[in-house]
Amino acid sequence: MNNYFQRVALSLLLSAVSAQNSDAYVLMISMDGFRADYLDRTYTPNFDKLANRGVKAESLRPVFISKTFPNHYSLATGMYPENHGLIANSFYAPDLQERYSMRDRSKVEDGRFYAGEPIWITAEKQGLKAASFYWVGSEAQGLRPSIWKRYDQGVPFDARVDSVISWFSLPPPSRPNLVLLYFHEPDWTGHAEGPNGWKTLKKVRDMDALLGRILSKTSKLDIAQNLNIIVTSDHGMMEVDSEKLIDLSAYADFSDVRFEGSGPTVAISSDSEERLGEVYESLTTVPHCNVYYRQDIPDRWHYKNHDRIGDILVVADKGWWLSALSHGSFLPKGMHGYDNDLQSMHAIFIADGPAFKDGYLRGIFDNIHVYPLVAHILDLAPYPGIDGDLDAVRDLLRD
């Protein structure tokens, strides 16, 4: 009974805090695959304007593996993939005896695959409304904010922006204090053309123009003086070519083990320790990559303490591409998923608004710290299980 009254008291306290601070707003924008140094390689006046008015990080370090779904969910939860469970874009989940794939709508919307508490749920639980236009996890049952959209890449970017503006224009009882907005560029073009392609840099300029329209439209909102805008991305992009393709099936027999992935990482699992040992020994002879049993994966990746992570992980050196050609392979010109310490994998972080300092530049930080930062701006009590730490990014905030 005492625990019941404690929970009620905490709920009332959190609701009161949220009600007192409901004039704070956050728009968090993700531009997928926006490599940090793109800003130095072409003309981006609107990004420069936002950074000069607010704060900018040298770069944002993604979580490993540096893929879209794990990183968007880490941005949303403040947790490493080994804790939130979304360990790759596609993977086998032995705890559910099912396979997750970002291309399988039934799995994307299945809340069982997602652990932790995304920032929009933290907001909703504490009395604030939240909205998402395509953020990873926001479509899953049990994790949906008040307003959410089922992913449709064909929806024009301007239409997405117009929807967000309309949400921020709703009357206070219905207006979200937190909105997350996703764009699939420049990632889409970066895969097709590589990070050094002129079409990719043209797309970066297009995204800069889009940011300009967002800044113009949000400046006319009634809440403009209370709105904090964060522009970030999930990972960078690296050049790859067919001369660096490694056919793992030339070194090991995968006929009776589970083989997951291609490109920067490959995961292998089996119930047979003997077969795992045979495969591991064979793969140690493969050049331009490192092979780890799960327990030996480097601690700095925070990528070993979950059963969904393969028994064996193979990680390619930068620019190299792993595949078992018997399983098929598609080789793009640009790719991500490599070691998250590589600068080419790093993302952007730029923010402006009443919560942030003016014209402040800081060094690299990890994307798990974005969740506690947003929670602080909205005066929310963060989920207790996060890996992120507000103190790691407190310097971004006004005194």
Beta partners for 26? Answer: 178, 228
Integer Cα distance of 20 and 153 in angstroms: 37
What pLDDT is stored for residue 19 in this prediction? 42
What pLDDT is stored for residue 216 in this prediction? 98
What pLDDT is stored for residue 160 in this prediction? 98
Radius of gyration of the chain (CA): 21
Q: Is the CB of residue 117 less than 8 Å from the CB of residue 380?
A: no
Integer Cα distance of 147 and 274 in angstroms: 50
Integer Cα distance of 44 and 306 in angstroms: 40
Cβ-based burial of 23 (10 A; exposed 0-12, middle 13-18, buried ≥19)? exposed
* Cβ-proximal residues to 76 (8 Å cutoff; 6+ apart), any chain: 118, 119, 120, 135, 136, 137, 138, 180, 371
3-state secondary structure (DSSP) of residue 207:
helix
Could you tell me the CA-to-CA distances from 83 to 114, 337, 387 in Å, in that order?
Answer: 10, 18, 9
User: Could you write out the DSSP letters of every residue in 264-308?
Assistant: SEEEEE-S-HHHHHHHHHHHTT-SSEEEEEGGGS-GGG---SSTT
**CATH class label, 242-331:** alpha beta
Which pLDDT tens digit goes with each residue over 122-131? 999 999 999 9
Please list the alpha-helical segments (H only) found in 44-178: 45-53, 68-77, 81-84, 105-108, 119-125, 157-168
Which pLDDT tens digit goes with each residue over 235-275? 999 999 889 999 999 999 999 999 999 999 999 999 999 99
Report the relative pairing of strands 238-239 and 312-316 from DSSP bridges.
unpaired
What pLDDT is stored for residue 20 in this prediction? 42
Q: Read off the amino acid at residue 109.
A: E
The number of helix segments (H) and strand segments (E) in the chain equals 11, 20
Integer Cα distance of 76 and 95 in angstroms: 23
Integer Cα distance of 92 and 103 in angstroms: 14
What pLDDT is stored for residue 399 in this prediction? 82
Integer Cα distance of 3 and 59 in angstroms: 44
Could you tell me the CA-to-CA distances from 90 to 67, 166, 212, 249, 315 in Å, in that order?
Answer: 10, 34, 34, 20, 16
Report the relative pairing of strands 349-352 and 265-269 from DSSP bridges.
unpaired
3-state secondary structure 305-337: CCCCCCCEEEEECCCCEEECHHHCCCCCCEECC
Phi-psi region of 319 (alpha: psi -120 to 50; beta: other; left: phi over 0): left
What pLDDT is stored for residue 324 in this prediction? 85
Sites in the chain below the pLDDT cut of 50: 1-12, 14-20
Q: Is the CB of residue 83 less than 8 Å from the CB of residue 115?
A: yes
Report the relative pairing of strands 349-352 and 227-232 from DSSP bridges.
antiparallel
- What are the sequence ranges of the domains in the chain? 2-239+340-396, 242-331
Could you tell me the CA-to-CA distances from 267 to 5, 41, 54, 237, 337 in Å, in that order?
Answer: 47, 35, 41, 21, 13
Q: Which fold has domain 2-239+340-396?
A: Alkaline Phosphatase, subunit A (3.40.720)
Give the distance, in angstroms, between the CA of residue 17 and the centroid of all CA atoms in the same chain. 28
What is the four-CA torsion angle of 366, 367, 368, 374, rounded to 10 degrees? 120
What pLDDT is stored for residue 2 in this prediction? 46
What pLDDT is stored for residue 242 in this prediction? 86
Residues serving a catalytic function are: 68
